[in-house]
Structure 1
């Protein structure tokens, strides 16, 4: 028995030791000795991985009326594309996102869908899938309603019951083949992995015509330089995002102003930070809780002239994940959406357990 224990303890991490014990008769010995100290439960909780998805139905009349009411208020001076209709449009992407999770990421524990008092008509809510309202996670409900994804993302770590390790997805992110937790976290779960773009970089100059994503990226860069001496000009691929709740809480404790100013912006603004999609990963890299990695990935945009060709590529090649980005359309919108639904039904023909029976 001592020989087996020595073999187990040569593993690189506590998590790997537990994995080893679970597969041997030694687990009962380990359990009897340590169960009162909750060691097993604490280790197993590290392996729980939830998914958080932000979603909005921009076609809902009540939501549109509310958005227009605040958009026409005196408090707003819009930056370029901050009130772009493509930010709020939905063509059932969420349904396919959930199908992709069920098909290729069965290890996911809970799925939290964060919305503004909206629930997809086709969605079945159960112990696995929960809908979280903005008012349940914002510290200051006076900031609501918001129509700014940066503001919403700045509060997702406050979801009640959210696991320490979780994956954040927009509703235009999808899995294309089987993924494992180690695609997004190191084997011992001590670090998250992030995926830098080799094509997109933060512009050197930011002006009144700059895009919101670039303004936020520049704010991130300035903060990292001024407060942590960390330099970067990199942007990220559009992939599912691995996060640690404890790291977000630590960063918020050190920089409460970043969360406060971003959460208070109803629409994208010049003061925004893109916390979960960018800033937190560089911060994690700085403190040793995140590392750069690579993942087979594909990007498609609705306004791409080769949209159908690229969708056909997705049918033929099994990337780990892909993004279909919604932007202002210069081509035939209805035709593109028809192509999208037709191809996605080929990719994910089976309804997930999270859909009501038709």
Structure 2
């Protein structure tokens, strides 16, 4: 059987660009620090290390079909646009005009299925998510279905972003109110790959709608699932897409695709040890993570208490592991 093509999609923006700042403030009517949690500069900050992301993809995902770099029209100065696998796509090339300009990543994510030529199966990355070990298509898909972490979680209002989690769950449970997938395929939910997280599924078994454990890692997606969600929930997805700036009160985001795969029983279990999430102020953990043979994915979250010395340390570690320029660089 011929393996299906798998593309990679990554979003990038340089939030320090003066023109970007001007345009964004004109749309939002807000200064950049109006609310650090919802729309602070860390949402748009460019570390200046995006070239290492491409070095990792070149080294660890030789099987990738195409890499789609999605931006508002910006592009890194060092980027080699002649690379045969690179597709540089701007928002206006695939998003309906009424949604533009947009500074809302959720809106961009929910319209990725409109990208011309994008493969049915694609991995979705943010620019602070990294592939740190040699990988294979089978790490992400089995029999054409994505590998996911099907672990339920209580929704705790720890930040404004919790509202988006709740919106996602409300959408999913309009269509799957009874956790039918768990009942028909319990082995997918009580699976050894989840380790101790299985206890969450056990404890939440008596309850109806609940949230999901989210590791904030690159996620395997299906274009047809996103398209189907537009067919059945167009009003909800359109509302998010029209929000030029994040609105956690009403937005949903791309997690609904993974939730849909889980509740429609179109997935396979993913190991909880497949990746790790750390904050930029935890870069001292990176050597251990890079040496861990089980870890293939890494997410380095920007911290609101950003410290330049942590970024310098991060760059040093990346250059130690990936010193060689990739063909994606000029």
TM-score (norm 2): 0.83
- Of 192, 207, 211, 2:146 maps to 192
* CA deviation profile, 1:158-178 (whole Å, cap 9, x unmatched): 111001111111111111111
Contact 1:80 1:211 in 2 (8 A): no
What SS does structure 2 have at the residue aligned with 1:236? coil
* CA deviation profile, 1:126-156 (whole Å, cap 9, x unmatched): 33111111111112x1321111111110111
Contact 2:239 2:251 in 1 (8 A): yes
- Cα distance change of structure 1 residues 79 and 289 upon mapping to structure 2, 3 Å threshold: farther
Give the structure 2 partner of residue 321 of structure 1. 297
Deviation at 1:118, TM superposition (A): 0.6
Contact 1:87 1:327 in 2 (8 A): no
- Of 6, 18, 27, 1:61 maps to 18
Q: RMSD of aligned C-alpha atoms?
A: 2.1
What SS does structure 2 have at the residue aligned with 1:323? strand
Equivalent residues, number: 294
- Cα distance change of structure 1 residues 315 and 280 upon mapping to structure 2, 3 Å threshold: closer
* CA deviation profile, 1:26-54 (whole Å, cap 9, x unmatched): xxxxxxxxxxxxxxxxxx4x611100001
Alignment of 1:71 with 2:71, yes or no, is: no
Deviation at 1:315, TM superposition (A): 4.2
Alignment of 1:133 with 2:93, yes or no, is: no
Deviation at 1:322, TM superposition (A): 0.8
* CA deviation profile, 1:302-331 (whole Å, cap 9, x unmatched): 1x3xx242123234334211111113125x
Contact 2:5 2:121 in 1 (8 A): yes
* CA deviation profile, 1:99-137 (whole Å, cap 9, x unmatched): 111111100010001100111111011331111111111
Contact 2:215 2:276 in 1 (8 A): no
- Cα distance change of structure 1 residues 122 and 201 upon mapping to structure 2, 3 Å threshold: farther
Choose between structure 1 and 2 for higher RCO, CA contacts under 8 A separated by at least 6 residues.
2
Give the structure 2 partner of residue 51 of structure 1. 8
Larger gyration radius, structure 1 or structure 2: 1
The runs of 5 or more residues in structure 1 that have no matched partner are 1-14, 16-43
- Of 253, 266, 269, 1:289 maps to 266
Alignment of 1:273 with 2:252, yes or no, is: yes
- Of 211, 223, 234, 1:233 maps to 211
Moved over 6 A (4+): none
Deviation at 1:260, TM superposition (A): 0.3
The runs of 5 or more residues in structure 2 that have no matched partner are 180-208
